[in-house]
Structure 1
Amino acid sequence: MKRLRYGSGDVDGVDLKLLEALAADARTSVAELARMVGLSSPSVSERIRRLEDAGVIEGYAAKINPKAIGLPLAAWLRIRPIPGQLRKVAEILRDIPEVTECDRVTGEDCFIARAHVATVEGLEQLIDKLIPYSMTNTSIIQSSPVPRRLPPMKALSD
């Protein structure tokens, strides 16, 4: 059985079940998690604490629908900084609250960022912050047939 190691040991099948349950609903009680995996609540609490301490569990968050809070327009921006402006562009992206995620990538573009805005004009204003330092290519998101999810964890227990 292939195992993922973390600070205090191996991630085993029980840990994977806990991780999957918490990923599906982070508000699941320790008592319910214990019933799911057939362990006592204190044992489950200790496992969760070890997974948190080791950085396997990075945190817990509410999943908010941007449309429901007035941000109906989502877009992916491919960003290619002009020579010498990579750090400046990264700084600008970090400072734009509408940018909800950003990755530095290989290829022609250096960054791919996801942004949520209220209007096309808001998207234009966001892009205008980047234009002095980079070239951008923007794609408006029509739908997300595969919502953000975790990679498969079952492979870790094989």
Structure 2
Amino acid sequence: MVSYPGIDEVDLRILKCLQEDATLSHKAIGQLVHMTGQAVGARVRKLQELGVIEGYTVRWNPDKIGQAVHAFVTVFMKSSTAHQTFQTFVQQKDQVVEMHRVGGEGCYWMRVRVRSSAELTDFLDELLKYGNYKVSLSIGQVK
């Protein structure tokens, strides 16, 4: 059951198609959801206007460009006044693929991709300026 105003089950099916392959044409999506390409295009524009679709991205394989180390880092801040400088630090670091401010264990959760354990160690050494951390290494992606 959809609870967001202006969104129906067909919109959700279109959104799922785009999530699986954003390069699909409106005509191809229309064939999957039993609509014309023009009707799909109108719904996609509506989803963009509503802010449901914020943009498009590409799936890629970091291992193919040498980013073989995939780490999950929980950050425990030293001080409540360090958050802004820490966030600025993270924005400047290409190694940080994703970061969330969290409740529960830790203050931030980061997903980090680097070429080697030495590069990860260097990054973690810099991180110590802001707080402590806990690291978990990915040994394989399941989903």
Task: Tell me which interval the TM-score lies in, with the shorter structure as reference length.
Answer: over 0.9
Q: Match of 1:92?
A: 89
Q: Match of 1:120?
A: 117
1:108/1:34 CA distance change after superposition, 3 Å: closer
AA partner of residue 68 (structure 2): P
Offset of residue 3 of structure 1: 3.0
Percent sequence identity is 28
Work out the CA distance in 2 between the residues paired with 1:23 and 1:16.
Answer: 10
Residue 54 in structure 1 maps to residue 34 in structure 2? no
Per-residue CA distance 1:26-77 (angstroms, 9 max, x = gap): 1111111112222222211110001011110111111011111110000001
Q: Match of 1:109?
A: 106
Work out the CA distance in 1 between the residues paired with 2:3 and 2:39.
Answer: 20
Work out the CA distance in 2 between the residues paired with 1:75 and 1:61.
Answer: 22
Work out the CA distance in 1 between the residues paired with 2:24 and 2:69.
Answer: 31
Larger RCO: 1 or 2 (CA < 8 Å, sep 6+): 1
Q: Match of 1:33?
A: 29
3-state SS of 1:4 partner: coil
Aligned residues of 1:79 and 1:111 also touching (Cα < 8 A) = yes
Q: Which of 31-40 and 113-122 deviates more?
A: 31-40
The root-mean-square deviation of aligned C-alpha atoms, in Å, is: 1.2
TM-score, structure 1 as length reference: 0.85
- Number of residue-to-residue matches in the alignment: 142
Residue 12 in structure 1 maps to residue 18 in structure 2? no
Residue among 125, 128, 133 paired with 2:130:
133
TM-score, structure 2 as length reference: 0.93
Work out the CA distance in 1 between the residues paired with 2:127 and 2:4.
Answer: 40
Q: Which runs of 5+ in 2 are unaligned?
A: none
3-state SS of 2:57 partner: coil
